[in-house]
Structure formats: structure tokens, C-alpha cells
Amino acid sequence: MGETKQQKVLIVDDERDMLNLLAKVLVKKCGYAVETAACAEEALEMIHTDSPDAVLTDIKMPGMDGLQFLRQMTAIDPAVTTILMTGHGTIEMAVQALKDGAYDFIEKPFDNERIIRTVGRAIERTRLLRENAQLHHRLCDQDHLHGFIGRSRRLLQTVELLGRVAHSNVTVLIRGESGTGKELAAKALHAMSSRADRPMITVNCPALPEHILESELFGYHRGAFTGADRDKAGLFVEAEGSTLLLDEIADIPVGVQTKLLRVLQEKEVQPLGQNKTLKVDVRVVASTNQDLEAKIRRGEFREDLLYRLNVMTVTMPSLASMAADIPLLAQHFLEHYIREHGRGNLEFSAEALQALMLRPWPGNVRELQNAVNRAVLLAPGDLIGVSDLWEEQGALGSFCREEQQKQGDLPPSSERLSYREAKNALLRKFNASYLAEALEAAEGNVTLAARSCDMERQAFQRLLRRYHIESRSFR
């Protein structure tokens, strides 16, 4: 278990006695690694070399003052949290510094306990900002999302989990409803792994009869059966050093399950008609949309195989659980199919977008993709309506409107809203519901609720005020 990194504080002040006093307090009381600088120019050089976790700086200094220093430091590392030290006559400067991105200011003479509390909060803020920046860099850059579209908490948590297990060699079982992107998750897992330089091999288990599936997986020796006129390396051998995806593993026959269990246990395969075994280095990923536990109870799936497969489980979220991503996904598919079908400048009507948000989506993302594809093909004009999305939409438009007006989400004239306005109206409802659920789970504790949402406490509180949510009502 690695050691916790010591938190570092940089103090900037042209008064040597002040530097020594503050450094002594923060080292003795908090155990921080403290560095000091007598001027802003020296501090900037230190930040270029190694960014601190918090900066405590005077405002009035010879040469570069605290405000100039703050702006230049933010350009170097925007995540570093800065606390201003103000003397008589510098309060207006401190207020301006807050507008420029400073976290807080403390008036001289100081109260040591307040300094300790404020610096502690500043360090925590820096930690959260850096973690969020890393997560954003890792997950929200489209190249790093490996084909996933969306920004919902459920989706980002799932992709983050894939990233955390990607570099290990553990067997991963990907579960989820049909159309949730299980194969895409397997590809992402492989792409983020150390095996990415070799192609992943996918086996569609339900598509192959038992005897063909067995020979495809494990290979065979010449003469093993009628028609085996040459040796054939199985897919486990072909996937040496790479990843093998067993898609819809619940449909593998019990006889093949037994041999697969041996491969997972012993890391070796025995081709049909051959006595010797072959060692293999293959990372196995399996996927299913079925209830494996129910199949075990019916004797259709080996319990010990499930244990071998279930070293790490990744459950893909349903589209209904990440409804805030529907506009992003719909727009992504719209742009894709506009290019594919050469349809020019199509866009969704407000009512079509509302229908997309309200639909339960039993087929998940795949169903949404198909609906948008159909709409691009069939929409007669430049505006996609509800009837362009589904054949059975005779009553869906009125259903959507009735449901929205019952819930008070949209005014009767919402069909005249722009795409952005319609989307924002629906997202307002989602945000209010999301914040309320987080507070309920945290029993009204704003700090815990913000942490569970990967948000800074102040940002969480601003959202609560925006949506008129009182945290005390959840206690």
C-alpha cells in the first residue's frame, strides 16, 4: 500500500517574519510540506517546477502584486487554490481577487485556527479539482471515451471502472440489457489495456452449434473428426497476448462450459484430437444480457464457471438510467446518419426531442440509434417530427404532451420552443431530481452529497440555490 503524498503549501510574502510564522503554524499543526517565497516572481518559478496544493499569498508586495501573481499562477495551473492575505486598505483588492479566481482572503492580524481551517479547505478543493480534471481528461475527451457518447454520472462511472480494471489481467463479466453497449465496453476495455497493440477477437457464442464452437475455441488436430484434414489453431491460440470476448456467454452449451472452465483455471487449451496441452496468455472478457443465476438454478449454466468469469463485473447502465444523455446521443446519431445518407441540415423538432426523452427505451441505445436512422431516412423536410421516429407514433405525440403537462414540465406552447430551449427545460427537471436524490441518499448532508456527485461543495450549493432545493428538508 503506497504512502499518502504529503500536501504542499506555498506561502508568498515580502515580510520574512510573516513567512516564518505561517510556515511554523502549518508545519507544526498540520504537518504540511511548506515552501516560502519572498516575492511573486520567485513563487512563479517554484510553481513552474512543482505545483503546490494551496498558495497563501500577500496582496501588496514590491514588484508583482498579489493580483498579478494570481492571474499568472492560474494560467500555469488553474487547479491550485489561492488564499489572499490582506492588510488595512486592501479589502477592495481582495474582492477583485475573488472575482479573478481566488478562493478566499484572510485579514491581518491572523487567527491561527482560521488559517488552518481555510488552508485545509483549499487543499481539499485543489484535490477535487485535480481529480475532476483527470477524470475529464480521461473520460470526457471523445478519443478517450472509446466510442461512448454522454456525460451522465452513471456512464462516466462505468467508463472509469473499465479504465481502472483495464490494465490488469482479470477476467471481466460485462452484464446489461440488450442494446446497452456491452461489446463497445469490451472494446474499450481492450483499447485501454496493455494488450491493445493486438486485435481483440470476438466470438458470437449463440451463432455457432456446439461442435463448431468447441473446435473454433480450442482448435483441433488433423483427423480429429471427419473433414479435419489439417491442424487448426483455435481462437484461444490466435488471441495469444490479446483479449478474447465471449459474447452472450449464457448460450454456451454445458459441454463447452466444462472445457472453458479448464482453460480459465489452468491457462491452457487442449485441441480436439490431441493429447498435449498448449499454454495460452489470453485475457477473457465475457458478456451477457441474461440472468446467469437463474440459468444455474435450471442446470443450464455451471456455477463454478460463473465464479471464474465473475472476478470483476461491469454492469452497463440502461438508457433510462442516463436520460440526460439522450439529447447528446440523439444529436450524435443524427450527425452520423446525415453524413451517411447525405441529408443536409436536418434537426429535431422540440416535440421530437421531448418524445425521445420520455420514451422508456426497452431496446436502449441501439433502439435510439435505429429510431434516429429511420428518421433521417424518412423525414420529408428539414425538421424531424415525432412521426418520423417511429411507425407506431400515431398517439405518442399527444401522449408525450399530456405527460409533460401533467408533470408541469412544459407550457402548452412548447412546440414553438427551439431545440436548445426544449432540451434545457427537460434538463432542468433532471437536475432537480438528481440533486434531490443525492441529498436524500446523504440524509441532507451537503458535503457528502457533493462528494457522491464528484462535485465541489460550493458548486453543489449553487445548484441547490438555482433549483430552490433546501437541504434541511432531507434531514
Percent of the chain with pLDDT over 90: 38
Range(s) of the domain holding residue 79: 8-136
- Of the pLDDT bands very low, low, confident and very high (cuts 50, 70, 90), residue 385 is confident
Neighbours of 424 (CB within 10 A): 13
Which has more confidence, 326 or 395?
326
Count of structural domains, the chain: 3
Q: Are residues 286 and 226 in the same domain?
A: yes
CATH number, domain of 41, equals 3.40.50.2300
pLDDT tens track for 291-313: 999 999 999 999 999 999 989 99
Contact 146, 191 (CB under 8 A): yes
pTM score? 0.57
Greater pLDDT, 410 or 370: 370
pLDDT given for residue 403 in this prediction: 43
Nearest to 325 by CA among 149, 182, 198, 157: 149
Res 404: pLDDT: 45
- Which pLDDT score is estimated for 419? 60
Is residue 400 pLDDT above 60, yes or no?
A: no
| Range from 49-63, 334-348, 429-443 carrying the lowest mean pLDDT | 429-443
What does the alpha-carbon distance between residue 24 and residue 337 come to, in Å, rounded to a whole number?
64
CB distance 322 to 328 below 8 Å: no
Confidence grade of residue 140 (pLDDT, cut at 50, 70, 90): very low
pLDDT at 413 over 50: no
User: Which residues does 196 contact at the CB level (< 8 Å), separation at least 6?
Assistant: 190
Q: Quick one: 230 and 242 in the same domain? A: yes
Identify the band that residue 38 occupies on the pLDDT scale cut at 50, 70 and 90. very high
Our measurement of the distance from residue 6's CA atom to the centroid of its chain's CA atoms, rounded to an integer in Å, reads 28
Q: Does 109 sit behind a cis peptide bond, omega within 30 degrees of 0 on the bond before it?
A: yes
302 lies in the same domain as 236: yes
- The reported pLDDT for the residue numbered 402 is 45
CATH number at residue 344: 1.10.8.60
Sort 311 into a burial class: Cβ within 10 Å, 0-12 / 13-18 / 19+.
middle
pLDDT at residue 392, as a whole number: 58
Based on the fold, state whether residues 293 and 184 are members of the same structural domain. Answer: yes
Are residues 173 and 31 both part of a single domain? no
Instruction: Based on the fold, state whether residues 214 and 123 are members of the same structural domain.
Output: no
Asked, for residue 115, whether it belongs to a domain, the answer is: yes
The yes-or-no verdict on residue 239 having pLDDT over 90 is yes
Choosing from 362, 387, 407, the residue where a domain stops is 407
One domain, residues 225 and 301: yes
Mean pLDDT value across the chain: 83
**Which cell numbers in the block locate residue 323?**
436520460
419 vs 400, residue with greater confidence:
419
List, for residues 158-187, the tens digit of each pLDDT value. 998 999 999 999 999 999 999 999 999 999
